[in-house]
Amino acid sequence: MKKIWIVAFMLILLIPGASAYQIPEKGVIYQIMVDRFYDGNQSNDQPFYDPNHTDYYLYWGGDLQGIIEKLDYLKSLGVSMIWLSPINDNINRMVGISAPYHGYWTRDYKRIEEHFGNWKTFEHLVEEAKKRDMCIVVGFVPNHSNPENDGEFGSLYDNGTKITDFFRDEKNATLNPYTGSLEYIYHHNGEVKNYYGWEMKSKSIFGLADFNQLDPWVNDYLKESLDLFIKAGVCGFRIDAVKHMDLGWLMNFYAYAYSKEPLLIYGEYYRLEYGEDADMYDFYRYSNISPLLSIPIRERIVSTLGFGGSFEDLANYLHIYYSHLVYPNKAVNFIDNHDLPRFLSESRYKEGYHMALGILMTLPGIPVIYYGDEDYLVSKDGKGDPYNRPMMVFDNTTEAARIIRTLAELRKKNDALAYGDFKDLYKSYTTWVFERSFGNEKIVVVLNKREEKNLSFDTDLPDGTYRDVLYGVEMSIKNGKGTLKAPRNRILVFSYIGKQEKPLIGSVTPYLTQPGDKVLLGGVAFGKRGKVIVGNKEAKILEWKNNMIVFEMPKIKMRGAWVNVTVENRSNVMKIRYLSGDQIPALLVVNGSDVNTTGQLWIKGNIPELAEPIPLYKSQTGYYFQIVSLPKNVAFSVELYRGAPWDELEPLNITLYGKSNSTVILRSKPYPRENHEYWPIYIGMIVLGLILITLSFKRR
């Protein structure tokens, strides 16, 4: 009898189970403002509650239980990731006329806001979502806690124990001699006035108590809090206000999260247009540490579809935008959100809105549907914040819901939507045709406004007759030329899925890794088993399916920032940003007297963490500095450079040396080796000695 049980157990182990992971690019995100979605538990509505839903600044009752009850509704739209507005415990007081219904005024990062539920409800939500093949992304706010001068005055709790508030903290604050920042748990440097450089990172925005993330307690506290969500089973985070935090600290923070799970983390860098100012440029160039919300393209999509904008201009702008991203398919795209007016409150042009939804679902990047996008939700009371946050109305039978559902299903089937490139086939003021290809899978998208039009264009799709997935319009292709009659004010999507012989990688999650991290590869034709090669090392395989591989990042000896990954050395090559070991956040300081030059200074170092150029800020106290993420216990050197971020950097032929620590003052002399670093040399000498003795004995 016992034997039967053992055999049955072994058989269960052999059945290929569902993976714990999803490839983010294949999915669609649904964004929820928790308070405004659905009230599943009336007992947590008070205080500051408005049952009539007329005062936009009070709580309206939505909670985690409400989301659990609406999971089947969400599933019916075809979405796979549910992004919640922040749910950590917020202050228990009003600030002026506003309650913290939005969740952005945290006081305890280790607890859940009582208006929304508790850890148990949250875990239940994660579990129920998982049963339906969906997962939860939470908003996390590591830049600041809550208002300094009102409400609870920046009060901060560690799982119920009060740690500080803004004024108590100010009494303990000291001046950092290298950066000139007055700080303890919080920064006490006043409000940001100039949106660049050190000031943008170390002063407060909207009067919110700004964290000093380099303080070891703050650093640990934020990571421990993040970990609570990871342990509860989230699949990602939306990180608030990344523009106001040091990129080096974020890299450290993300590396910590990625060391736990292969998550999707995307940041909010708030700026409506892509600009070549140094900070934004760095964030996008280094968007390799994590994707960002595509805020700079949203305005263009709305003005082109909601008003009379040109498709040709939109296409050109999008190509420039994507050219700045390491992985364009990981951009997180949206039309509506809780900070900007909804499309339909700016323009009532519904056909344009449907086309905009279609573009959102087919452009490179992961689409976000803001709650109510599927049924034209708008407030009659106003446009922007807070009127872009009305109470949800549930209707999944609309034309918008049909477009979302149809294209969400297509994203799962046709990999060109998740991993494909992006090429224009035809563009004019009123018409745009683009194609996306991934190996032998292809998509052609046709947009046409104003009047019906006969179109003809070159395409990579094989000859034949195609029917668009949304309206059934026909397109015929002969000798590589596509022709169709494009109806007015419609978006058409044509799909082709051919067979792929060779493995092809489409996505790497995450693409900032350290040895031991789990990494997901998404793609096609991986087969049943095989090898993943990272640099020149074979990685340990944790899971292998035809369209997804999970492997463990090996330890690699290298100085550069990027390492190549391939499947069996037969597939295409993708790059991964490599971090060489356990990371610590560090303040890197260059003494002003070591550098006799003007202009923007940069460093480039001889370890992977410092291998990409890093800009330095100049302090009032005569130093250059930057926050970086370093491997523990490593001596390194850096070279100094000068120049604008978009120019070729000019070497200054100055080498400085450092050793990892929380503050590293770079010096002009190398560090002597430590005792343990001599061991390999001693062992080598002993082995050599033994060989020589053996040889001399043999000769005798």
Judged by the rule CB under 6 A, the positions of this chain that interact with ligand NOJ are 104, 141, 240-241, 268, 338-339
Output the six-digit token pair for 272. 């409506």
Binding site for Ca ion (CB under 5 A): 143, 210, 244
Binding partner of residue 240 among Ca ion, ligand NOJ, none, CB cut-off 5 to 8 Å per kind = ligand NOJ
Rounded distance, CA 66 to CA 63, Å? Answer: 5
Select 241 or 331, whichever has its Cβ closest to ligand NOJ: 241
DSSP 8-class letter at 648: P
Residue nearest to Ca ion (CB): 244
Output the six-digit token pair for 311. 């498709």
Binding partner of residue 141 among ligand NOJ, Ca ion, none, CB cut-off 5 to 8 Å per kind = ligand NOJ
Burial of 220 from C-beta contacts in 10 A (0-12 / 13-18 / 19+): exposed
Q: What is the 3-state secondary structure (H, E, C) of 438-472?
A: ECCEEEEEEEECCCCEEEEEECCCCCEEEECCCCC
Rounded distance, CA 174 to CA 568, Å? Answer: 55
| Shortest distance, position 159 Cβ to Ca ion, whole Å | 23
Bond prior to 47 in cis (omega within 30° of 0): yes
Residue that the structure tokens 């979405």 belong to: 79
Select 268 or 517, whichever has its Cβ closest to ligand NOJ: 268
The yes-or-no answer on residue 374 being catalytic is no
Binding partner of residue 338 among Ca ion, ligand NOJ, none, CB cut-off 5 to 8 Å per kind = ligand NOJ
Q: What is the 3-state secondary structure (H, E, C) of 190-247?
A: CECCCCCHHHHHHCECCCEEEECCCCHHHHHHHHHHHHHHHHCCCCEEEECCHHHCCH
| Shortest distance, position 163 Cβ to ligand NOJ, whole Å | 20
Select 292 or 521, whichever has its Cβ closest to ligand NOJ: 292
End-to-end alpha-carbon separation of the chain, Å?
Answer: 69
Closest to 336 measured CA to CA, from 376, 309, 382: 376
| Shortest distance, position 206 Cβ to ligand NOJ, whole Å | 6
Closest to 508 measured CA to CA, from 258, 294, 282, 284: 258
Catalytic one of 240, 279, 374, 441: 240
Binding partner of residue 89 among ligand NOJ, Ca ion, none, CB cut-off 5 to 8 Å per kind = none
DSSP 8-class letter at 392: P
Closest to 180 measured CA to CA, from 586, 596, 584, 587: 587
Question: Cβ distance 117 to 91 under 8 Å?
Answer: no
| Shortest distance, position 240 Cβ to ligand NOJ, whole Å | 5
Select 209 or 235, whichever has its Cβ closest to Ca ion: 209
| Shortest distance, position 287 Cβ to ligand NOJ, whole Å | 18
Rounded distance, CA 652 to CA 273, Å? Answer: 34
| Shortest distance, position 210 Cβ to Ca ion, whole Å | 4
Residue nearest to ligand NOJ (CB): 104
Binding partner of residue 244 among Ca ion, ligand NOJ, none, CB cut-off 5 to 8 Å per kind = Ca ion
Select 31 or 179, whichever has its Cβ closest to Ca ion: 179
Binding partner of residue 210 among Ca ion, ligand NOJ, none, CB cut-off 5 to 8 Å per kind = Ca ion
Select 195 or 562, whichever has its Cβ closest to ligand NOJ: 195
| Shortest distance, position 141 Cβ to ligand NOJ, whole Å | 6
Rounded distance, CA 394 to CA 109, Å? Answer: 31
- How many whole angstroms from its chain centre is CA 21? 16
Select 240 or 279, whichever has its Cβ closest to ligand NOJ: 240
| Shortest distance, position 244 Cβ to ligand NOJ, whole Å | 9
Binding partner of residue 468 among ligand NOJ, Ca ion, none, CB cut-off 5 to 8 Å per kind = none
Pairing of strands 144-147, 174-175: unpaired
Rounded distance, CA 240 to CA 104, Å? Answer: 9
Select 387 or 562, whichever has its Cβ closest to ligand NOJ: 387
The yes-or-no answer on residue 421 being catalytic is no
Question: Cβ distance 384 to 390 under 8 Å?
Answer: no
Binding partner of residue 104 among Ca ion, ligand NOJ, none, CB cut-off 5 to 8 Å per kind = ligand NOJ
Catalytic one of 268, 374, 609, 639: 268
Residues recognised as catalytic: 240, 268
